[in-house]
Amino acid sequence: MKTDTIAAIATGLSNAGISIIRISGNEAFHIIDRIYRSKKGNKILSKENTHTIHYGYIVDQDVVVDEVMVSIMKAPSTYTREDVVEINCHGGIVVTTKILELVIKNGARIAEPGEFTKRAFLNGRIDLSQAEAVCDIIQAKNELALKNSINQLRGGEYEIINYLRETILRDIAYIEAALDDPEHISLDGFNQTLFENLENEMQLLKKLIQDSKNGKIIKEGIKTVIVGKPNAGKSSLLNRLVGEERAIVTEIAGTTRDTLEETINLNGITLNIIDTAGIRKTEDVIEKMGVEKAVKFASDADLIINVIDSSTELDEDDEEILELIKDKKAIILLNKSDLDSKINKDLIKEKTKHPVITISIKKNTGIDELENQIKDMFFQGEISLHEDIYITNERHKEELNNALQSLKLVKQSALDGMPEDFYSIDLMNAYEALGRIIGENVDEDLVNMIFKEFCMGK
Provide CATH code, domain 135-216+393-438: 1.20.120.430
Q: Give the tens place of pLDDT for each residue, 125-140.
A: 988 888 888 877 777 7
Question: Residue 387 has what pLDDT?
Answer: 54
* pLDDT for residue 332 is more than 50: yes
Total Cβ atoms within 10 A of residue 412:
12
Rg (CA), the chain: 30
Q: What angle do CA 16, 22, 27 make, to 5 degrees?
A: 150
* pLDDT for residue 376 is more than 50: yes
Q: What percent of the chain has pLDDT over 90?
A: 36
30 confidence band (pLDDT: 50, 70, 90): very high
SS3 of 354, please?
coil
Q: Give the tens place of pLDDT for each residue, 60-75.
A: 988 999 999 999 999 9
| Strand (E) or helix (H) holding 243 | none
What's the first-to-final CA gap in the chain, in angstroms?
17
- The CATH 3.30.1360.120 portion of the chain extends over 6-127
* pLDDT for residue 348 is more than 80: yes
Contact 68, 56 (CB under 8 A): yes
With the C-alpha atoms ordered 370, 375, 380, 386, is the resulting torsion angle positive or negative? negative
278 confidence band (pLDDT: 50, 70, 90): low
Ranking 22-31, 47-56, 147-156, 436-445 by mean pLDDT, the lowest is: 147-156
- The CATH 3.40.50.300 portion of the chain extends over 222-379
Flag whether the pTM goes above 0.85: no
Q: How far apart are CA 213 and CA 328, in angstroms?
A: 16
Provide CATH code, domain 222-379: 3.40.50.300
Q: Which fold has domain 6-127?
A: Gyrase A; domain 2 (3.30.1360)
**What are the beta bridge partners of residue 261?**
274
What number is the average pLDDT over the span 380-387? 49
247 confidence band (pLDDT: 50, 70, 90): very low
20 confidence band (pLDDT: 50, 70, 90): very high
Question: Residue 287 has what pLDDT?
Answer: 55
* pLDDT for residue 439 is more than 70: yes
Question: Residue 352 has what pLDDT?
Answer: 87
83 confidence band (pLDDT: 50, 70, 90): very high
Question: Residue 53 has what pLDDT?
Answer: 97
Ranking 282-291, 372-381, 413-422 by mean pLDDT, the lowest is: 282-291
Question: Residue 37 has what pLDDT?
Answer: 95
Question: Residue 386 has what pLDDT?
Answer: 46
Question: Residue 458 has what pLDDT?
Answer: 76
Question: Residue 246 has what pLDDT?
Answer: 46
Residue type, 283: E
Q: How far apart are CA 13 and CA 6, in angstroms?
A: 18
Alpha-carbon distances, residue 418 vs 58, 182, 371, 423 (angstroms): 71, 17, 54, 8
Q: How far apart are CA 232 and CA 278, in angstroms?
A: 8
* pLDDT for residue 280 is more than 80: no
**What are the beta bridge partners of residue 56?**
38, 68
Question: Residue 253 has what pLDDT?
Answer: 41
Cis peptide before 355 (omega within 30 of 0): no
382 confidence band (pLDDT: 50, 70, 90): very low
* pLDDT for residue 236 is more than 80: yes
**DSSP characters for 355-381?**
-EEE-BTTTTBSHHHHHHHHHHHHHSS
Mean of the per-residue pLDDT values for the chain? 84
- For the purposes of burial, counting CB atoms within 10 Å of the CB of 202, is it exposed (0-12), middle (13-18) or buried (19 or more)? middle
- The CATH 1.20.120.430 portion of the chain extends over 135-216+393-438
**pLDDT greater at residue 227 or residue 432:** 432
Q: How far apart are CA 103 and CA 32, in angstroms?
A: 8
